[in-house]
Chains A and B, each alone.
Chain A
Amino acid sequence: MQEFVTNNIKETNKVANDLATSLESGQLIALSGNLGAGKTVFVKALAVGLGISETITSPTFVLMKSYPVNYKQIKQLIHVDCYRLDASEDLADIGLQDFLDDPQTLVVIEWADKLDNLPKNNLINVKMEFLGQDKRKIVISSKLVG
């Protein structure tokens, strides 16, 4: 488990960038934290780290967006946002299962705590917390290979 306190976006970007360099395909990133905690900011920086040139925008209303990637074996980023789900949904219900099974796809989920049945393996949890003004706490914990 790693814990960071960032004082501005730049520092958050650095944490996300560093995570990007250590990513492997077939992993799942579960982001949690309240409104404005910085989840989308984190994904934007992660995407930059993966060499994605498209602008990452919030997927809140459309539930998920996909971006082509060319990074190690990763060919596709699926950016999911569960904010609008009001009950705990099944990953398959929102059409995610195929992506989770695809080794060339990296799935990143905002508001992942709204989902019930995240896979136990290859899961990276990123918890973000608002500490006042531009200060954020970021806790990264992972269960790799299981």
Chain B
Amino acid sequence: MRILALESSCDETALTILNAQADSLVLEKDQVYSQVDIHQQFGGVVPEVAARQHAETIIPLLSANIKSEEKVDYLAVTTGPGLITSLLLGVTAAKTLAYAKNTPLVTVNHMEGHIYSNWLSNDELVKNANKYFPSLVLIVSGGHTELVLMKGHGDYQLLGSTVDDAVGEAFDKVAKLLDLGYPGGPIVSQRANDGDCSIYDLPRPMINSGDYNFSFSGLKTAVLYTLERKKKINTEDVDNVCASFQNAVVDILVNKTMKAAQEFGVKSIMLAGGVAANNQLKESLQQEARIKDLPFFFPELKYSGDNAAMISVAAYYNILNKKNIISGKDLLSVAPQSNWQLFKK
């Protein structure tokens, strides 16, 4: 079956056409438009966050990329969680198209999309997913830090989440404190490569909290305090702070993930979300999983950040489970759910 998916929950607008078969997922089209591209293509400067004003640009984007005769079996769109003004443009375009083309629409949760980025990058999951359930999924991004027990397709239990800052947010803010620029994650891990993580003794907040929640705001403040104490810092200090910070983050994430893997007797571990790009995190989880003899899956770099490909795959498994499929007059009431929490305790 062919699925056309749209994603616009944050700063990018993305479009994918997936051709899904029982044991293969092929992306016929996969495009991400950052707002910069849109601005260039349509020659107007629009305020960064005013996605509402981009509602008009998604239609030309769609028509430029899909010939009207192209037949898709399903449309899919991210309806949440995310910024309402951004979600609105994707949702409006998708439901209008679905209604006009008389094609059913699948409403997809953005976080579920992140989980399914693993299916895009690991054929083994497409062919034999049931071998790997229950799976423990660590979702780490700019806005989310969640440990989820995935018992089967579409069957989730939330084990824990951050009580303050998300991991990606902590990376960005530490980069800001160190004046390293944006986006902070890649820069901090780059600098960490050259640093010594034993120089600064940073805390591991909540590491022994006895639950699966996380806290990263204290780590941010610990970096702030370290910098205040030093007053002047040189390149080497920056490298060392980055290394110490990243080490603390990875320590906390890996520690809780492995504890949960043990407690729930999972058959695999998965990583998802933008921070899945972090090499130290991947290597560390890989290593711990190997010790426990557990398969470890992670998404390729191009699918760890926000993209529409992961949304199309999540839509595919929703379709197989006959979930969240909307058609006919019901399409008119499809709306963004900016606070959609799919994972429940």
Contact = CB atoms under 8 A, between A and B. Distances in A.
B217 A58 contact: yes
A56 B10 CA distance: 21
Given A57-B162, A87-B47, A35 B224 contact: yes
Nearest to B165: A58
A62 B143 contact: yes
Interface in A66-113: 66, 84-87, 89-90, 93-95
A1 to B, nearest CB: 27
Given A57-B162, A58-B217, A95-B84, A85 B169 contact: no
Interface size class of chain A, counting residues whose CB lies under 8 Å from the partner chain: 20 to 34
Contacts of B177: 35-36
A60 B165 contact: yes
Interface string B186-208: 00000000000000000000000
B221 A36 contact: yes
Contacts of B220: 35-36
A36 B10 CA distance: 24
Contacts of A66: 338-339
A87 B24 CA distance: 45
A62 B162 contact: no
B49 A63 contact: yes
Interface size class of B (residues with CB under 8 A): 20 to 34
B47 A58 contact: no
A126 to B, nearest CB: 18
B296 to A, nearest CB: 26
Contacts of A36: 173, 177, 217, 220-221, 224
B143 A61 contact: yes
Nearest to A59: B143
Nearest to A84: B49
Contacts of A132: 228
Interface string B152-183: 00000000011111101100010011000000
A22 interface: no
Contacts of B176: 35
Given A89-B49, A130-B224, A57 B82 contact: no
A84 B217 CA distance: 17
Interface string B135-147: 0000001110000
20 contacts: A35-B224, A40-B164, A41-B217, A57-B164, A57-B165, A58-B165, A58-B166, A60-B165, A60-B166, A60-B169, A61-B143, A62-B81, A62-B82, A62-B143, A62-B338, A86-B48, A89-B50, A93-B85, A94-B50, A95-B52
A93 B220 CA distance: 29
